[in-house]
Amino acid sequence: MVYGDGGMVEFLRMPYDYRMQQSEEHIQSEPSRRESADSTPLEGDFAGFVRKSIKAGGVFGGAPSEPEETARTTTDWVIDAAIALVAFAFGCAQMVITASSIVHVDAGPYGASLVNYVPNLYAYLAVALTTAPLVLRREAPWFVLGLTLACYAFLSNSMGGSVSLSPIGPIVAVYTVASEHARGEAIAAVAVVGICVAVVPMGASSATMALVMRIENVAFVVVAALAGFGFRMYQAYIEETRRRLAEVERSREELAARRVADERVRIAREVHDITAHSLSAVAIQAAAAERLIDINPVAAKEAIADIRSVSKSSLDEIRSLIGVLRGDDPAEHAPAEGTERMGDVVSFLQRAGIQVDYDYSHYDRARVPSFVDMALFSLARESATNAVRHAQASRIEIRLESTPAKASLEFKDDGVGMSRAVRDNAEGHGLEGMGERIGALNGAFTIESEPGCGCAIRAEVPLEVVRDDE
């Protein structure tokens, strides 16, 4: 018998976390590589995002990323219309307040006098012309800015300074440009509007009052631009957060899918071990029974008994595997299948008519982790099956060795060997499974073989790395 009851099931259970580690690290490294290539990581808060963006010249510098083209909804139009109405109301209120306290100094016999100007219909129409275009501010920010600024400058000059026209229209347009466009365009908008509001006529009682009003208007322009910057930064932060969350979700889905695919490969490999080894043993014993049935019935009966034993063991282990996959299998109490069953491999080879030299004098199984021991045994079992089926060998050497740093297995035969092309195009998953099993433990796996020169399979697993990962 080549393997024992419950061995493969234990192999699946015990090293699962370690076997999953490699695929999990690969999945987790992919988002980090993509992340480092196309963006700067968030620091977890808005302030951190602002610092990173300024340092990288992101939102405050360079050309912005192309905004997504989205159709404006009725709500968007209503909001912009409401902003235009609020701006009109604010402009009217500011105009009335400034017009009601204009002091004229008269050098005549009556001295100074206080004159209250009441804005006429033309003044209110002027405010309306500078604020009405704001309804289109998000459709064409620069067009609206130019239109409102032109109306403001022309109407302020046409009124001759009798009334101070509020620059609320151009100020809101500057905010829109700063929140929609790059830094250079926003600075240009601030400069143009700032110069305009600083030179237009003011309906003030003195040069000092006019200077104060001009400084106030310029300050409003700058504040509007900064507010636009801040809103744009906040929107970029929200979009980046959403993108990162979506990336994390995709990574989790990829990891789950990779885990499922990886476990399918593991299960396929173990099912391959069950069927390939047991069927090989059954074929050998059946051939022996066929030859001995007439000349040595007793030996033929022993071969048939071996066939029954191997078949029953295989069926039991497959049932255990199905129970584990379905989740209704009770806890396993059978010992794990490791190098203590190497005697079965030797017996399997000897019954195939192969002379076996097995040396394990330098192998301390107690100091080798159980799943490393099982991996080496699985490798020896697979090598023995391949040797019986393909090598046509007459002698095989098996060496098991262990040191505090590593555990190794060497399996050599004197068979027909195989070329590299044959190895690379071999059918089935035996050779591939050997390498994967050892590679999952950070080990080294090599095959040396040439046609007519036999085959040597070597595997080394570093025990110190394995212990650190446990």
Residue 336 · residue 7 · CB < 8 Å = yes
Give the separation between CA 365 and CA 401, rounded to whole angstroms: 9
Q: Summarize the confidence of residues 22-33 as an average pLDDT.
A: 47
Q: What pTM was estimated for this model as a whole?
A: 0.46
115 strand-pairing partners? 102
The average pLDDT across 159-171 equals 81
The per-residue pLDDT for 352 is 82
The whole-number pLDDT of residue 412 equals: 93
Rounded Cα gap, residues 90 and 169, in angstroms: 10
Grade residue 321 by pLDDT with cuts at 50, 70 and 90.
low
Average of pLDDT values for 264-284?
A: 67
Provide CB contacts within 8 A for 344, sequence distance 6+. 1, 2, 3, 4
Q: What confidence tens digit (pLDDT) does each residue in 121-144 have?
A: 888 898 899 999 999 988 899 999
> How large is the average pLDDT for residues 306-329?
66
CA distance 83 to 173: 11
Span 14-36, mean pLDDT? 46
Q: Which two tokens stand for residue 432?
A: 């591939």
Q: Which two tokens stand for residue 190?
A: 């601030």
CA atoms within 13 Å, Cβ hemisphere of 293: 7
Q: Is residue 318 predicted with pLDDT exceeding 50?
A: yes
The arithmetic mean of pLDDT across residues 322-344, rounded, is: 63
E strand or H helix at 462, and its extent?
strand 455-462
Q: Which residues contact 32 (CB under 8 A, 6 or more apart)?
A: none
Q: Are strands 444-449 and 455-462 parallel, antiparallel or unpaired?
A: antiparallel
Quick one: average pLDDT of 70-88? 87
33 pLDDT exceeds 50?
no
**Mean pLDDT taken over the chain:** 75
Give pLDDT, residue 20.
Answer: 45
Are residues 397 and 374 in contact, defined by beta-carbon separation less than 8 angstroms?
no
Residue 88 in this model has a pLDDT that exceeds 50: yes
Helices (H), 327-369: 342-351
Joined together, the tokens standing for residue 231 give 């809103």
DSSP code at position 389: I
Checking if the pLDDT of 191 tops 80, the result is: yes
Q: Which of 52-56, 92-96, 210-214, 230-234 has the highest mean pLDDT?
A: 230-234
Q: Is the pLDDT of residue 34 over 80?
A: no
What average pLDDT score do residues 89-108 get? 67
Residue 87: name the closest of 51, 140, 133 by CA: 133
pLDDT score of 206: 66
% of the chain beyond a pLDDT of 90: 21
- Looking at the predicted structure, is the pLDDT value of residue 69 above 80? no
**Model confidence at 281: pLDDT above 90:** no
Which of 70-74, 79-83, 217-221, 319-323 bottoms out in mean pLDDT, i.e. has the lowest? 319-323
Greater confidence (377 vs 470) lies with 377
Residue 354 has pLDDT above 80, yes or no: yes
pLDDT in tens, 411-436: 999 988 876 665 665 555 566 777 87
The pLDDT of 356-384, averaged and rounded, is 89
pLDDT value at residue 411: 94
Please check the confidence at residue 349 and state whether its pLDDT lies above 50: yes
Nearest partner of 175 among 238, 233, 226, 235, judged by Cα: 226
Q: Please tell me the predicted confidence (pLDDT) of residue 359.
A: 93
The yes-or-no verdict on residue 68 having pLDDT over 70 is no
